Amino acid sequence: MILMRQVIGEELRRRRTEQSRTLRDVSRDAQVSLGYLSELERGQKEASSELLAAVCNALDTPLSVLLAGVSEEIAQREAILAQRNSFAIA
């Protein structure tokens, strides 16, 4: 099963590391605790729209861009799962 919170977390971490930023940097700029941001990146917590907007702002990434990346990743994973299921049925 694909969990959106995991894909969102992976996308947040990818964008943060692409910028060579630490959790501490982003948590400070987003005004969210370091521990909570870490849990978001690991897909252990669901983020509110307000929190996602704050983290995106800290990463200089529009929320729409983050969500588009999440959508693309979910679509790719769904295609892989569908392909696996079709092989299992055949």
What is the amino acid identity at position 55?
Answer: V
Distance, in Å, from the CA atom of 11 to the CA atom of 66, rounded to the nearest integer, reads 7
Which residues have a Cβ under 8 Å from the Cβ of 16 and sit 6 or more positions away? Answer: 23, 26, 41, 59
Domains, the chain, with CATH or none: 4-89 (1.10.260.40)
pLDDT digits (tens), the chain, 90 positions: 899 999 999 999 999 999 999 999 999 999 999 999 999 999 999 999 999 999 999 999 999 999 999 999 999 999 999 888 877 665
Task: Give residue 90's pLDDT.
Answer: 58
Closest CA to 3 of 50, 40, 58, 55: 40
Task: Give residue 87's pLDDT.
Answer: 74
Q: Considering only CA atoms, give the Rg of the chain.
A: 15
What is this structure's pTM?
0.90
Task: Give residue 86's pLDDT.
Answer: 78
